[in-house]
Chain A
Amino acid sequence: MTSTGEAVPTEVGQARSNWPLFEVFLRSKRGLNHVHVGSLHAADATMALHHARDLYTRRNEGVSIWVVKAADITASSPDEKDPFFAPSGDKVYRHPTFYDIPDSVPHI
C-alpha cells in the first residue's frame, strides 16, 4: 500500500497489479440514470463489462452497464465546502420557493 494507490510489486501479486481499476455504473431499469456501484480490476474494458455483470448484476440489478477506467475520470476537489461550488450558493432566485405568489392564484 502506498499513499498514491500505485500497485506495490509483490512476487505473487505482480500480474494482477497490471490490471487497471475500472469504475462501474449501472442503470437499474429503463427510465433511470446510471449510478456508480463500485469498482473492479480487469485486463481491458470488455473483461471489465463481463466482470461487472457477474459481480454487480447477479439478481437483475441492471439493464445497462458502463465501465470506465478510474484513471480517466476527472473529479472536483472532495471538500464539500469547496469554493468550486460557491457560485450556486447565493442564487436563491433559482428556486421556485423564492417567489411569493398569492394563494388565490391557481396551478402555479
Chain B
Amino acid sequence: MAGTGEEAVPSGQMQSGHGVDAGKLEQHFEETIARDRRIEPRDWMPEAYRKTMIRQIAQHAHSEIIGMQPEGNWVTRAPSLRRKAILLAKVQDEAGHGLYLYSAAETLGADRADLTNRLITGTQKYSSIFNYPTLTFADVGVIGWLVDGAAICNQVPLCRSSYGPYARAMIRICKEESFHQRQGYELLLTMMGGSQVQREMVQDATNRWWWPSLMMFGPPDAESPNTEQSMRWRIKRHTNDDLRQRFVDMSVPQAEVLGVTLPDPQLRWNDARGHYDFGQPDWAEFKRVIAGDGPCNAQRIANRRAAHEGGAWVREAAAAHAAKQAARAAQREAVA
C-alpha cells in the first residue's frame, strides 16, 4: 500500500505497535478473543501469546515430522502391496501435517531453518509418544487406532484455536487423521481375524502403546501450570484430564469390538460419573522420556539430523539451478 510506510508481507512478519497506545492494542486483542474471533498474523498480539503459539505450533510440527519414523520403519516390510501403499500415504500425510504447521509458525515470525535447527539440536521438544519403538507390524495398526485416536481427541478442539492460521491447519489435519485412525483399526480387525499368533501380536502392541497414548494428553491438570492462561487465550479448549477421559471413554468400546484387553486393572465403568474410571500412567516415565531418556530419543533425532544434513546438497543444487535459470531468463529479456 503506497504512502503508508507499511511493508507488505503476508507471512512471517509482525506489527510492533510502536507509537500506538499499547493498552488500546491489548484491549482490542482481548476483545477479539472474548468474541471468539480469530487472531490473524499481522494483528497486534502480546509477546507472550506470540511466544506460546510459536512454541505450541513448532512442537506440534516437530511431532508430525518425527512421527514419520516409527511407522516408516515398517514401509519396506509391509505384508502386502495394499498395506504398503496405505502406510506410504499415511507417512506422507505426517510430513504434510508438519509442513502445514511450520507454515503456520512462520506467520508468527518464526524462521523455518531455525525451527529445524531447534529440532535436531534438541532445544525444542516433540511428543514423547514417538520415542517408543515399533516392534511388530501390529504396532502400525495400534498407532493408527490409539496414537492417532488420541491425536484426534487433542486436535479437534484446536480447530477452534484463537490463532487463525493454526486453526485452519488443524482443520486440514483433522480431516486426514480420520483416515489414519480407520486404516489402523481396520488393520487390527484383520489381524484379530487371523491366527492366534497374530491376535497375540495385537494384544502385545496394545499393552505397550496404551499407557504412552494416555500420556499424550500431558501431565495431570494439577501439574499443568500453563493450562489456565492457554484456556483464557483460547489456544487450549479443554484440560488435559478432560481430554484423557474423553479418549478412554471412546477407546473402551473400540477395544471390546476388537477383542483386546486394555492393560489397566483399574479400568471400569462408573455409573455415577457416567465415565470410565482408569489408572494413571507412570508419570515418572513420562518425565524421563520428555527429558530425553526414552527408548528411541537419540535414534529419532540422529535420523532426522542425518536426513537433513544428507539433503543439504539437494537444497544447494536446487538453489543454484534456480539462480542459473533466473540469470538466463534475465539475459533473454535483455536481448529481446
Contacts and interface: CB of A to CB of B under 8 A. Distances in A.
A65 B41 CA distance: 23
Interface in B304-336: 305, 308-309, 312, 315-316, 318-319, 321-322, 325-326
A10 interface: yes
B14 A8 contact: no
A18 B117 CA distance: 15
7 contacts: A3-B14, A12-B305, A15-B316, A16-B116, A43-B322, A44-B318, A78-B42
B10 interface: yes
B319 A18 contact: yes
B96 A73 contact: no
Nearest to A84: B1
A71 interface: yes
B36 interface: no
A13 B106 contact: no
Given A12-B116, A78-B15, A40 B1 contact: no
A16 B322 CA distance: 13
Interface of A: 1-8, 10-19, 21, 23, 38-44, 47, 54-55, 58-59, 70-71, 73-79, 81, 84
Interface string B4-16: 1010111111111
A96 B44 CA distance: 35
A40 B109 CA distance: 14
A5 B9 contact: yes
Of A4, A15, A76, which is in contact with the most chain B CB atoms at under 10 Å from its CB? Answer: A15
Contacts of A55: 96, 99-100
A98 B14 CA distance: 39
Contacts of A12: 113, 116-117, 120, 305, 308-309, 312
A61 B114 CA distance: 30
Contact of B106 (A5, A15, A81): A5
Q: Name, among B6, B44, B165, B168, the residue most crowded by chain A CB atoms within 10 Å (CB to CB).
A: B6
A21 B12 contact: yes
Contacts of A71: 9
A73 B109 contact: no
Nearest to A11: B117
Interface size of B as a range: 35 or more
A5 B109 contact: yes
A91 to B, nearest CB: 21
Interface string B51-92: 000100000000000000000000000000000000001001
Contact of A13 (B8, B100, B109, B116): B116
A10 B8 contact: no
A25 to B, nearest CB: 11
B169 interface: yes
Contact of B100 (A1, A14, A38, A79): A38
B113 A17 contact: yes
Contacts of B113: 7-8, 10, 12-14, 16-17
B316 A77 contact: no
Contacts of B316: 15
Interface in B276-330: 305, 308-309, 312, 315-316, 318-319, 321-322, 325-326
A100 to B, nearest CB: 32
A58 B99 CA distance: 13
A41 B110 CA distance: 13
A43 B308 CA distance: 16
Contacts of B43: 78-79
Contacts of B4: 77
The 3 closest A-B pairs by CB, nearest first: A13-B113, A78-B42, A5-B12
A103 to B, nearest CB: 36
Nearest to B6: A77
